[in-house]
Amino acid sequence: MNSVASTEAVFPDSKKHFEILDGLRGVAAVIVVAFHIFEYFAGGDHTKQIINHGYLAVDFFFLLSGFVIVHAYDDRWGKMTLKGFFKRRIIRLHPMIIMGMLIGGICFYPSAAAMFPAIESTPVWKLLLVTVIGFTLLPVTAALDIRGWGEMYPTNGPAWSLFYEYVANICYALFLRKASNTVLTILTVIAGAALVHFAVFGGQGDVIGGWSLDIAQIRLGLTRLSFPFLAGMLLRRLYKGGNVKNAFLWSSLLIAAVLAFPRVGGSDNLWMNGIYDSLAIILMFPVIIYIGASGRIENTAMQKVCRFLGDISYPIYITHYAWIYLYYAWIQNNNVATEDAWPMGILVFIVSIVAAYAALKLYDAPVRKWLTTRLLKR
């Protein structure tokens, strides 16, 4: 998943803060947790997955990222250097990357199970090495695959999307911010065509993947990143404002419906689900973001909900998978049936939210405040 963090930027006081988009980011992040809790019981068969299209949350985050990056930074380059931009992004993204890797490292050996074939043979020094490398967000090769799942971040799988988020940020700062709307439109169309080609004709009927360090997976990761991020940038540049009533409600229902929609076409018609994925990313996600951006906070309760969801969205995305690893291991090691696993699943869901909120308040916010003072206010 996300890239979720990049959708929250430090906005100048004179700029509109899209609070509903904060809330949407949180709604999608919470759905990702539920998606992963149910994923075990699909047995690797995507057609049987509950909350079937939860994986598309990553693509939603990328699109939201492009929208907010343009909003936050496009008109600041006369006053901000490349160095200043990268400092801001590292301050926003990296503290929780380190925390996610640390929690994943602590939970590594307790999550030992047959489904993680490399854990028991992994010496402590190797775990420490992989964890420290993970702190830098440098991906690891198969030689350091200490879990056996082929992840570029074996202690915290979802961090792969943050790797591509950094790629997007670098491309934005070096090239894309200078692109005219015409050039950006051309790039977006090309990226959209590549996305449709892979989703419909790529042979797997979806855009699942991107978390391994091999040519095929890197291609998929870049394909998943390119259209949403470019489309988000273009959407913000063309956006002229709007007035949608009950925008948070409608946009939240839409994103939940898109992510929870059952698999289309089954195993005999994979291309049909590829069309669904393409339409969701190319059509529905921009519409959802437009609705969210065009609404307003209508009462104090809604403001609190959006703020809370926005606050926990990145911490929950980047830390929850450590608890998922433990949950999967518990199910397999105890041969727990689907109907008997739901109490523990609910507990994992609650723990993910509580741990994310604690990490935000006790670690992320103070560390970012300290780094901002040290690096940006000298």
Q: What element of type H or E holds 197?
A: helix 181-201
**How far is residue 196 CA from its own chain's centroid?**
20
Quick: pLDDT tens for 62-112.
Answer: 999 999 999 999 999 988 999 999 999 999 999 999 999 999 999 999 999
- Classify residue 12 by burial, with Cβ atoms within 10 Å: 0-12, 13-18, 19+: exposed
Residues 6+ apart with CB under 8 A from 306: 19, 20, 22, 23, 26, 248, 297
Predicted structure pTM score: 0.94
DSSP code of residue 281: I
Question: For the chain, how many structural domains are there in total?
Answer: 1
Euclidean distance between CA atoms 333 and 328, whole angstroms: 8
Token pair, residue 169, equals: 């940020």
- Expressed as residue numbers, the domain containing 74 is 4-375
pLDDT tens, residue order, the chain (378 aa): 445 655 444 444 456 789 999 999 999 999 999 999 999 988 878 888 889 999 999 999 999 999 999 999 999 998 899 999 999 999 999 999 999 999 999 999 999 999 999 999 999 999 999 999 999 999 999 999 999 999 999 999 999 999 999 999 999 999 999 999 999 999 999 999 999 999 999 999 999 999 999 999 999 999 999 999 999 999 999 999 889 999 999 999 999 999 999 999 988 899 999 999 999 999 999 999 999 999 998 899 999 999 999 999 999 999 999 999 999 999 999 999 988 999 999 999 999 999 999 999 999 999 999 999 999 875
Euclidean distance between CA atoms 53 and 4, whole angstroms: 17
- Determine phi and psi for 160, rounding to 5 degrees: -55, -35
Euclidean distance between CA atoms 322 and 18, whole angstroms: 30
Helix axis angle for 82-106 and 160-174, nearest 10°, is: 180
Helix axis angle for 270-279 and 181-201, nearest 10°, is: 160
